[in-house]
Amino acid sequence: MDDAERRRATRAIGVGAAFFVIGLLITVLTYSHASGSGGVYVVAWGPMLFGGIRMIIGLFLLAKSKR
């Protein structure tokens, strides 16, 4: 049972990190493009928030599985 919980926790951390990085990349890339040409940029806070929450959930699950 502990092995399945650890896999679930590491998967949640990985998915969360992926969403966070995607949101961060969207923000950085659109900002860098807008700063050069004077356009509009997107702050992709949705994927970053979702990713952060998933990573926190994964960390709690990982701590719980080690007890």
Query: What span, in angstroms and rounded, lies between the C-alpha atoms of 52 and 17?
Result: 7
Per the CB < 8 A criterion, the answer to whether 2 and 61 are in contact is no
- How sure is the predictor about 3, in pLDDT bands with cuts at 50, 70 and 90? confident
Per the CB < 8 A criterion, the answer to whether 51 and 24 are in contact is no
Per the CB < 8 A criterion, the answer to whether 62 and 6 are in contact is yes
Query: What span, in angstroms and rounded, lies between the C-alpha atoms of 14 and 45?
Result: 18
For 9-62, what is each residue's pLDDT tens digit?
999 999 999 999 999 999 999 999 998 878 899 999 999 999 999 999 999 999
Residue 49 CA, chain-centre distance (Å), reads 7
